[in-house]
Copies of this chain bind each other. A is one copy, B any other.
């Protein structure tokens, strides 16, 4: 049995919702928002900042521009959040089977030799657009495709920075599923099957 299921996902692909349903079906904890709460407690940073900087490289975050040399002398808030997040993720995994969404959990747990079922959820633009508009609504003067592309880019950059791996690259996942094509319920079913197979 896999102790932990990690879910990485494209923005708007329904990965969060799929993870939640998988956890409910398997009767194991689901960690997403709770990680943010615990990192906030541990680090002292505000939840909003952790939500923003715990998975995304943002334009407000200039730390990515700092040279390796100068970065040796201090930790950026993003680094501190990453480290606190890592501790919380390892702690969650140590407690037993669970589902963890995003936050480089696949990489963090692999590095620590925690056996995981690593899942990647993606979808076509049409399904993602529909889901994001339904969930978050429109943003004035910002096209939906641009919003999706920006979020993906921020996740990619964040993942690359902390793992030196390519986000979405098949080598990093045991299974990758197209939630738009297959449907959310089928994705939930397949992940649960794989979890129970081992």
Contacts and interface: CB of A to CB of B under 8 A. Distances in A.
Interface of A: 120, 122, 124, 168, 170-171, 173-178, 181-182, 186, 189-190, 193-194, 197
Contact of A194 (B173, B190, B197): B190
Contact of A168 (B170, B174, B175, B194): B170
Contacts of A197: 182, 186, 189
A108 B190 CA distance: 27
A193 B194 contact: no
19 contacts: A120-B176, A122-B170, A122-B171, A168-B170, A170-B170, A170-B176, A173-B178, A174-B182, A175-B175, A175-B176, A175-B177, A175-B178, A175-B182, A175-B190, A182-B197, A186-B194, A186-B197, A189-B193, A190-B194
Copies of this chain in the oligomer: 2
A197 B186 CA distance: 8
Given A122-B171, A168-B170, A186-B197, 6 more contacts: A124-B171, A170-B176, A170-B178, A174-B178, A190-B194, A193-B193
A170 B170 CA distance: 7
A128 to B, nearest CB: 12
Contacts of A177: 174-175
A85 B120 CA distance: 32
A58 to B, nearest CB: 24
Given A186-B197, A190-B194, A181 B176 contact: no
Contacts of A176: 120, 170, 173, 175-176
Contacts of A173: 176, 178
A177 B178 CA distance: 12
